[in-house]
Amino acid sequence: MRLMIINGPNINMLGIREKNIYGNVSYLDLLDKINIWAKELGVDVNCFQSNHEGEIIDFIQKAYFDKYDGIIINPAGYTHTSIAILDALKSVNLPVIEVHISDIYSREEFRKKSFIKEACLTSIIGHGIEGYHMALELMQKELKERKK
């Protein structure tokens, strides 16, 4: 099972930015955790982060052309603004799970709208970095069900 994990703008600043919201865990620590969780689950992951919308779209399309089984995405600020990322997710016809470290629904009004969720099986919101672990487990379960 191969999964693409895509992180959007400013996720590379974890542990530096707004620690009261995002905590002290760095982006490199997050990647280490994801790799540990993936190994425990027997899942192959490719993690990618970009501050650029077009690069994120390119990786969504890469997941399709390189025959990944699913996508876990934290589109970060693009959650609330990017129809282009939504369209890219819809176009690849892969299962997608949306992850947010913070609870976007308890923050500013503009963060309460996710354009991305329309293309997703589910959204995991407000569980910190543990949300990625939850997403890996859910995606593994979903893909096993689809193979039956």
Is 127 one of the catalytic residues? no
Q: Which of 22, 27, 68, 78 is catalytic?
A: 22
In 3D space, the residue among 44, 105, 108 whose CA is nearest the CA of residue 72 turns out to be: 44
* List of residues 6+ apart from 8 with CB closer than 8 A: 49, 50, 51, 56, 73, 74, 75, 76, 77, 78, 79
Is 27 one of the catalytic residues? no
* List of residues 6+ apart from 69 with CB closer than 8 A: 1, 2, 3, 94, 95, 143
Q: Which of 68, 100, 132, 133 is catalytic?
A: 100
Q: How far apart are CA 142 and CA 137, in angstroms?
A: 9
The catalytic site residues sit at 22, 100
